Structure 1
Amino acid sequence: MNWLRSALVSSFAALLLCAPATAQVQNDRDTALRNAVVSLGRCTGTLITRRVILTAAHCIPVGLRAEAPATPPRDRCLALPHQHSLAKSPHENPFEWTAFEARAAPTARFGADSGARRISMRAEAYSLPRCADMALLRLAHDVPEAVARPLPVLVLAPHRQVAPPWRDMTLRHAGWGAPKGGPEAGAKRQTGPVRGFSKTRCNLVALPPVRPNGERILTGDSGSPLLAKLDGPDGPEEHVIAVLFASGIPDRAACGARDLRVPRRHGTYTPTWRKQVPDTDSTDLGLWISHHAPDAVRIWPELTPLAAPPQ
């Protein structure tokens, strides 16, 4: 009967893992550390150095980007069409900054409430990786530490191929999502616990907290960070480990199948440690972030996940 007992325990554990979490969002606190998660109008971003913001590529309108060359480069992302389409077919060099025209640059708004924000700052340049819905914005000036304190970003050491055990981490959502048609002027940053759920070779799938309307992801949450609490040399600290781009399961041919069946309401994130996807020209995201924001990156072997509380 030991085999039957073992099978029942395994089945019960699987059911617990597959049950959607029901944690609710709450309004976020207005502190320098929490204010690293900024409003970008219809998107969310994260301050990772005093001058650099991490967000999603689709949050940068094509009209604000540099004009594409008359003869575009060959399509390097055929195996990742969903991510490439979301990123709006970047043609820019990922390892260079591309300047915005001053009159059209996006604006980052700092604070927990758009109706009483601390400051607003314009971006002066951007960088886009290949085949990933992720972007970096460089601000025209440093953000004062009293307003917002940057969050570190988890990347892997160059020789590491195995992803960290992200399901064991204490995870949190923070974003500027609002119901469709909701007034931007009344937006508030909301936060709540996230449950790690499933993954593919390219993406993480998680269950953010439930909003009052029953949804988990709202317009305005795009580009928001998946935050994990890790114990490093200086003690426990939250790190950005991924960026939200949608709620779909994209590019199965290149990314493989998810390891667990995904509930209808979920969030799909691109890990900041994602290396180049085999058989594509995709950018090693950890290398890209390290190139543009070396002060922001943390290496996995130096860190230990803090156990998540029981669900």
Structure 2
Amino acid sequence: MKTFLLSEFALQNQSSVPREGMRFWVFWLLFSVILLLVFFIFLREKRLRQRLNLFFSRAKRGFIKSRLQARLKKENLKKAGLIRELGEETRKQGISVEESKDIDAELKTLEDNMNTSQEEMKEMGSQIEMFTNQLEETTKKHEDQIKEKEAEVEPSIEKLTKTKEKEKLVELDLIKKQHEIEEGDKNLKAARKKAKEIEKNAELSEEEKRIQGKEAEEKIRNLEKEKGETQNELEGLREERPALEKEIKNLHRRINDCERTMKQIEKDKKEQTRKFQKEVKELRKNKQTVQKKIEEIAQQKEPLFESLGKIIDEVRVQHNKLAIFYSQIDRTNGNIQEIEANIQNL
């Protein structure tokens, strides 16, 4: 048992010692040797080399063929464009041959329709411009009228403000004068009472009664005079108030008339603007419809120009304007034949 435990302890100590891994350069050395062996095997296997060469050869031919087909497509598109341009130039120069009579008739019909549509476009453009100018003129006219009314009503508004302020002052003066009269009545009543008391006072001598009575009468006269003046001022203010109220009423009426006129002008302006905008909107909508029709006619002419170009290319009508197209078409045909031959030889 003791021997067994000692042996187990020794094994555990050995396993706890870290092992050293494979060195980095040794790994790459072995990897290079393996690659070298594979290379030598490849050199000795002829069939393997042939298969690999065949694979790369096919891939190369496929890549070349794809490039040639792309070039061929590009040249064919170029030729189609030249043929179409040849047809357009032929029509532009008024050249016609026996083989193209039907095409010429179709193109003539389409051109007439396009000219009619273009005239409609031009007319609608003129109408849009006319309505736009009329709208600008009408808007300016209404704005000038509104400014004129604003300038007309401004003095009335200022005068109304001042008149209302004056009316308030008159109201305050009326209240003040009324209070002064009431106070004067009280003072006058008190002065008269005092005068009677002086006259009936038995304790006063005749001379004292005369002197104090005279003073009381003087005071009563002064109070009556002040009351009369205040009463006159009060009557003047009472007469002034209706005049101010009438003036305020007239100013309100004048201002309201101007404001109603301005509102009507603004209403007319909006109505005219709405009317013109509706007309312009309808014209633009119709213009878009006609524009679409012109584009459709242009698309319908494309295949006819191409057909006409093919006929003229076959007939080869002698004309200095067409010679350059013939030269470009021949050059393109040569490129197409060369590319097709290269594709066949792959």
TM-score, normalised to structure 2, is: 0.13
Q: Which protein has the larger Cα radius of gyration, Structure 1 or Structure 2?
A: 2
Give the TM-score, by structure 1 length: 0.14
